[in-house]
Amino acid sequence: MIGNYNYGTGRRKSSVARVFIKKGSGKIIINNKIATKYFSRKTGLMILLQPLKVIDCLKFFDIKVNVLGGGESGQAGAIRHGISRALVDYNKNYKIKLSKLGFLTRDSRRVERKKVGLHKARKAKQFSKR
């Protein structure tokens, strides 16, 4: 607990999110923007609201997020991870529900690097027999 906020760090791909939650009216601020304005697609907003829907407290917490790196999908996943950790910091009983759905596990998948002689990581040039 930092001040009157509960804190959680979330990571996904190359994104890192620092999440601060406290009791409030349900406002979500991401990098000093409202969450609906921050994400251009609805899927990003849907992903970060998942832990709040699981414990049924959408309008119970004010959330402030600082997120760096990556793209929209990675940032949404990092924020979800951070919110889940902050909720566990707020109430230890939430850990059972959130860990069962995998929200407390860091998703370690990353983009595979491009290999020499290939177009992408695995896509090769078309084979010609003649």
Tens of pLDDT along 16-54?
999 999 999 889 999 999 999 999 899 999 998 999 999
Cα–Cα distance, 105 to 85 (Å, whole number): 10
Give the model's pLDDT for residue 10.
95
As a whole number, the mean pLDDT across the chain is: 92
Tell me if 68 is assigned to some domain.
yes
Cα–Cα distance, 80 to 103 (Å, whole number): 7
Considering its fold, how many domains does the chain have in total? 1
Tell me if 116 is assigned to some domain.
no
Give the model's pLDDT for residue 58.
85
Tell me if 50 is assigned to some domain.
yes
pTM to 2 decimal places: 0.88
Q: What is the average per-residue pLDDT within 59-84?
A: 93
Cα–Cα distance, 121 to 18 (Å, whole number): 31
Tell me if 126 is assigned to some domain.
no
Tell me if 13 is assigned to some domain.
yes
* Whether the Cβ atoms of residue 115 and residue 121 lie closer than 8 Å to each other: yes
Give the model's pLDDT for residue 105.
93
Instruction: Report the CATH number at residue 83.
Output: 3.30.230.10
Q: With 80 as the cut, is the pLDDT of residue 3 above it?
A: no
Domain that holds residue 77: 6-100
